[in-house]
A and B are shown apart, each in its own frame.
Chain A
Amino acid sequence: MFTIDRVIAPVLGIAFALALAVSSPVIATATPLAEAEKGAVAEIEQAIEGAVVKVAGEDEKAAAESIQSVPAPKQVAVEEPVEEKSKSTADHSKFEELDIDFKSGPQVTKACLKCHTEAAKQIHKTKHWSWEYINPDTGQKLGKKHVINNFCTSVKSNNTFCSACHIGYGWADDSFDFTAEANVDCLVCHDTTGTYKKLPGLSGHPNYETIEWPPHSGKFRPPTDLKQVAQNVGPTSRKTCGTCHFYGGGGDAVKHGDLDSSLTNPGRYLDVHMDSKGLNFTCSTCHVTDEHEVSGSRYGPTAADEKGVLVPGSQDPRNPTTCVACHGNTPHPDKAAKLNDHTRKLACQTCHIPAYARSTLQTKMSWDWSTAGKLDEQGHRIQLKNSAGKVVYDSKKGNFTYDRYVVPEYQWFNGKVNYTLFGDKVSEDSVVKINEFQGDADDPEARIWPVRVFRGKQMYDKGLQTLAVLHTAGKDDAAFWGNYDWDKAMEVGMRTAGSEYSGELGFVSTEMSWPITHMVSPKEDALACESCHTDGGRLAGIDGIYLPARDRMPLLDMIGFGVALLALIGVLIHGGIRVILAKRED
């Protein structure tokens, strides 16, 4: 009885059920309905069908749109912003000073300065103007003017192109007059028409004549209507800031990863603050601006702010762009108080930006310059594209990789950054850190930050053992993008930077770190506990802390569970003997 009860019967049960499952086709279960029910069911079916068709139609439209968007993502990502009536007390189109057929940008600036007399003086003091920042901790000279990055690498010797993103007119070389008020470009930040564009190669000017753009495309761009732009100036917007900051590194979404044209008109899921149908923050809502100096810079970042909310009107010179400046250090409600404990070790961004490049736009993940310069048999430039239609090889620039919805890397960061600058010794033996974030677990100023690490391979002067300045862009015959001659381009580039090229070109592996801080998700999309509290989770590589569910002592676990198992086996044997003895007595 013992065996039949406990072994054979359940096994038979399992076998029977299995046999039943295998032998009976699931599809043969069309049960006839009772006549009375049929009418009602038919009605419901009709109702459902109607609803379903509608939903499916919308889905398909959306799906079709997105597929189309792969080769030209901008069409979907950048919708025209909703026309908003200006709240300004001044209608610039009524000003006589602006009722002029302007011939050049500086001419417009002079008109602006007639009323805004101090504007250019303010601009002259800003990083946006000088492209220079002296780090108060390290004394390092930073800013675009000095830093060599691992994208287009260097502004030096390439100003005519790079200054398309300078808020000035005419920065073609070192002779540029940084003190001239008329050289300030008011329009690039204050345009509201969306027609003002500074094209690479024009040293920061918009085109005053018809120009073929993009070059050799057969498309022509008419001269900028400066009067129209000047008469429609207004506050800065996501679009005006994005004119440069969304397109850094030579294209949309290339450089930052957390800044691209999808933020011109983002949905709530993409950025909870900039949500164009919700809070609708502009850049300057957080990057509070005083006398034209925009706050919050990557060159002098704030990794942790223990002082909490920065009350508007406060004279405290703290960085107002941090999450803490508005939300404080205990932003979670009492029922989620445990989350507030996390702010001692984590930047808000770590949980609240679960991934960057969360639109359909692809951000660049790596850039290998060492393969640049290959031409086809006719000596023409080569461009190869990936499955999504993005260029993965360009003779001008080498190889790229892309990704979207990218999970950041994580590291301790206390706000201090060390750069490898021109002249600093580098070699092929180790990966060169273009910039290195400082801090560790024991540093009270440090938090765990989400970081975009951009990896590359780029030019260095083997003889001088320094990162190289390459003359890439320009109309002269030495520019690499015109003639693909490394040595010629190196000579000009290095000389502009103040050194003589040794004649030996090499390539070093580089890494550049970018704190991820934009594209803040709504709270429901924030990381769940187990994203980190698990083996091999997002913080697998973070040391110096005890992280429950990630960290444990394997030896203790082995002993603990081992003894528990022995205890279990012991009682089972003991119990087994008792059962057998009892049966025998029966």
Chain B
Amino acid sequence: MEKIYIFKRFERFWHWTQALLIIVMMITGFEIHGTYSNLGFERAVELHTLSAWALITLWVFAIFWHFTTGEWKQYVPTMDKVEAMMRYYLTGIFSHAPHPFRQTTLHKHNPLQRLAYLFVKLMINPLIWATGLLYLFYTSWESWGLGWLNLEWVATAHVIGAFMMLIFFIAHIYLATTGHKPMSHIKAMITGWEEID
């Protein structure tokens, strides 16, 4: 068995802080949406807003980090081996077939991961952010020349983003157990070192 250092310290910090913030925002967000009541609407709004600003701050650093380290290239999409990955998850994983992708420091994400994360970063996140900030500042729409906007549309788009995040979250957590051993990927995300075959 071999170990390689994949996730650097900032990346791990970014991942887990982001994870915590997103979980908090999902819990509070669906309360604000009216799905259930738990913390009370006021607390939920406070926490949701606070987490939003924290996440935005974190993201500013993360974007800076991605560009200065060149790590952004990790998310350049490729269709190479995508089909093989699909087949692996559908059948190969049950019969201990060899993983079609071999992680390296330069290619730490498999092709499906690349596509998924890119989708999160270019679709889900911008949708949630844009609608969320509009939601937060809806009283300023007139002065921004956005008087034609409608809170119902913005809120609905925000909720669509939230559902996409929820679904991503479920798949992401499960797929985190599909490494060499069930805990391999998760340990890697904590320590930075990934066990590979």
Which segment, of B2-10, B104-112, B169-177, B189-197, faces chain A?
B169-177
Which label, helix, strand, loop or mixed, suits the secondary structure of the B interface? helix
Q: How far is the CA of A551 from the CA of B42 in the complex (A)?
A: 17
| B151 in contact (CB, < 8 A) | yes
Write the nearest CB–CB distance from B173 to chain A, whole angstroms: 8
| Majority DSSP secondary structure for residues of A touching B | helix
Interface residues on A, range: 20 to 34
Q: A534 to chain B: which residues have CB within 8 Å?
A: 34, 37, 41
B166 to A533, Cβ gap below 8 A? no
Q: Mark B5-41, 1 if CB is under 8 A from A, else 0.
A: 0000000000000000000000000011111010011
Is B188 part of the binding interface, using a Cβ–Cβ cutoff of 8 Å? no
B37-60 contacts to A, CB under 8 A, are: 37, 40-42, 45
A311 interfacial contact with B, CB 8 Å: no
Q: A540 to B84, alpha carbons, bound, how many Å?
A: 53
Q: Which of B150-175 contact A (CB under 8 A)?
A: 150-152, 155-156, 159-160, 162-163, 166-167, 170-171, 174
Within A329-353, the residues touching B (CB, 8 Å) are 338, 341, 344
Q: Is B93 part of the binding interface, using a Cβ–Cβ cutoff of 8 Å?
A: yes
- The answer to whether A529 and B45 have CB atoms under 8 Å apart is yes
Choose among A560, A577, A581 the residue that contacts B166 (Cβ–Cβ < 8 A). A560
Most chain A CB within a 10 A radius of its CB, from B37, B138, B150, B163? B163
A564 touches B94 (CB 8 A): no
Report if B68 contacts A (CB, 8 A).
no
Given the contacts A344-B139, A551-B152, A575-B177, A557 and B42 also touching, CB distance less than 8 Å: no
Task: Evaluate contact between A567 and B170: CB separation under 8 angstroms.
Answer: yes
Q: Is the CB of B42 within 8 A of A528?
A: yes
Q: With A550-B34, A578-B94 given, is the CB distance from A529 to B40 under 8 Å?
A: yes
In Å, the complex CA distance between A529 and B89 comes to 46
Q: How far is the CB of B88 from chain A (nearest CB, A)?
A: 12
**What A residues does B139 contact at CB under 8 A?**
341, 344
Task: Give the residues from 107 to 128 in chain B that come closer than 8 angstroms, CB to CB, to chain A.
Answer: none
Q: Say yes or no: A574-B174 contact (C-beta < 8 A), given A560-B159, A581-B94.
A: yes
Q: Which residue of A lies closest to B40 (CB)?
A: A530
**A548-B93 in contact given A571-B174, A575-B177 (Cβ < 8 Å):** no
In the complex, A553 has a CB within 8 A of chain B: yes
Q: Which residue of B lies closest to A553 (CB)?
A: B156
Could you say which of A546, A568, A581 contacts B151, with CB atoms under 8 Å apart? A546
- List residues of A whose CB falls within 8 A of some B CB: 338, 341, 344, 528-530, 533-535, 545-546, 548-553, 556-557, 559-561, 563-564, 567-568, 571, 574-575, 577-578, 581
Residues of B within 8 A of A (CB): 31-35, 37, 40-42, 45, 89, 93-94, 138-139, 150-152, 155-156, 159-160, 162-163, 166-167, 170-171, 174, 177
10 closest residue pairs by CB, A with B: A560-B163, A549-B34, A571-B174, A529-B41, A546-B152, A546-B151, A530-B41, A529-B42, A533-B41, A567-B170
